[in-house]
Amino acid sequence: MILITCSKGVAPFLKEELLLLGFPVSAVTAASVATEGTLDEALRLNLLIRTGQRVLLLLKEFEAGNPDELYREVSGIEWEDLIERDGYISVTSSVDNPTIKDSRYANLKCKDAIVDRIMEKYGRRPDSGSGKDRAVVFLYWKESRCSLYLDTSGEPLSRRGYRKIPFEAPMQETLAAAVVLATGWEGSGNFINPMCGSGTLAIEAALVGLNRAPGFLRDNYGFMHLKGFNERLWNEIRMKARKEARKDLKGRIIAADISYEAIEAAKKNAATAGVAHVIDFVVCDYSETPVPEGGGVVVLNPEYGERMGRIKELEGTYSGIGNYFKQKCSGYSGYVFTGNPGLAKKVGLRPKRRIPFFNSGIECRLLEYELYEGSRKRQKQGDEKTGII
């Protein structure tokens, strides 16, 4: 069994991705999707999945009431077939058991069981520590039920390797990918991203539109440090993904921000991701962001503020977004990603859909607005009637 974790709200998009790749889906929770496969399938998933955080390969499920029972069960796994004797392992966990006050103790017990077993078999103990850049083992322990996994990703998949310059409040790459998938954009219409910050949404859109594997830039994964790693298969999977990528897009991607520094960061990040050639960068107020003919999606991720004073200041920005949609974006679908429902109301348009997400623990919504062709004219007529011109 393979369990792919994701941030809350993202699971429906992750499920869809898995089905499209031909993987069966056996279970979906708020923050994970389960599928079937071996270490070989995990390679493919690490390379191709856009919205998942970690690809976990189940090793064993067992009962353990206390740390000694945990040690005994973990010792029973044939670690000598998985971890090199001169390798390095890191154990992470999610623990909710009455005998454990600090999950680091569970990690330690688990790690001891692994290295003691390898020591017994080979007379040599692998190194261990907190670095996630080599073999990683993940323990899920709830009450007396344990599931032990190999974390084949190592570092989370959101670390694509292109965001060298984060700028302000960047969106996690995997969340940005889920937002792009939620808009349904696939590369044929235009993708307009005012307030682009470090460019994450525009870059993820480019990767989707070009059918580029999101994991292509990364040269290190947890699975590379496991004994069963099939390097030949990995190279074949990468080669196939490279062949299936498109060179260009039919539509245009426009990434704009009022901050020159943000655009400089976004340009560098896009260049690192190898997609700068399909993105037009503009320094301008969001309301001046060019919207070419032909339709598509306009996606904004404005700041949503935590301080009252700042929220008051942002009200004008949100109502301005409503005006921008009405005046410049007809024929497009408009999207606003925000964690503040009060500010969202200031957009002043009725959302067609409200898609729930979480960003850094804050409940957010991706609001979708249908901006019909001619809505500008209708709005003008409405404004004339109410005397607002």
Q: Which one among 67, 197, 322, 351 touches ligand SAM, defined by CB under 6 A? A: 197
Binders in 252-281 for ligand SAM, by CB under 6 A: 257-259, 262
Quick check: helix, strand or coil at residue 276?
helix
We find the least distance from the C-beta atom of residue 198 to ligand SAM, in angstroms, to be 4
Token reading at 320: 């301005």
We find the least distance from the C-beta atom of residue 237 to ligand SAM, in angstroms, to be 28
Under the binding rule (CB under 6 A), the answer on residue 52 touching ligand SAM is no
Q: Are 298 and 333 in contact (CB under 8 A)?
A: yes
Under the binding rule (CB under 6 A), the answer on residue 170 touching ligand SAM is yes
Q: Which residue is nearest to ligand SAM (CB)?
A: 197
Q: Which one among 194, 222, 251, 339 touches ligand SAM, defined by CB under 6 A? A: 194
Question: Which span sits near ligand SAM by CB under 6 A: 191-199, 222-230, 305-313, 357-365?
Answer: 191-199
Q: Which one among 169, 239, 245, 362 touches ligand SAM, defined by CB under 6 A? A: 169
Binders in 143-162 for ligand SAM, by CB under 6 A: none
Within 8 A by CB and 6+ apart from 101, the residues are: none
| CB nearer ligand SAM, residue 74 or residue 202 | 202
Looking at residue 148, its amino acid is L
Rounded-to-integer distance, Cα 155 and Cα 134, Å: 9
We find the least distance from the C-beta atom of residue 168 to ligand SAM, in angstroms, to be 5
We find the least distance from the C-beta atom of residue 59 to ligand SAM, in angstroms, to be 35
- Exposure string of 15-33, with b = 16+ CB inside 10 Å and e = fewer, is bebbeeeebebeeeeebbb
Q: Residues 11, 148, 52, CA angle at the centre, nearest 5°?
A: 25
Q: Count CB neighbours of 40 within 10 A.
A: 14
Q: Which one among 46, 51, 97, 198 touches ligand SAM, defined by CB under 6 A? A: 198
Q: Which one among 42, 150, 201, 291 touches ligand SAM, defined by CB under 6 A? A: 201
Under the binding rule (CB under 6 A), the answer on residue 286 touching ligand SAM is yes
Rounded-to-integer distance, Cα 200 and Cα 196, Å: 7
We find the least distance from the C-beta atom of residue 92 to ligand SAM, in angstroms, to be 26
Within 8 A by CB and 6+ apart from 353, the residues are: 366, 367, 368
Of 235, 271, 241, nearest in space to 255 by CA: 271
Rounded-to-integer distance, Cα 144 and Cα 157, Å: 30
| CB nearer ligand SAM, residue 143 or residue 168 | 168
Quick check: helix, strand or coil at residue 263?
helix
Rounded-to-integer distance, Cα 172 and Cα 151, Å: 20
Q: Which residues bind ligand SAM (CB under 6 A)?
A: 167-171, 194-195, 197-198, 200-201, 257-259, 262, 285-286, 301-303
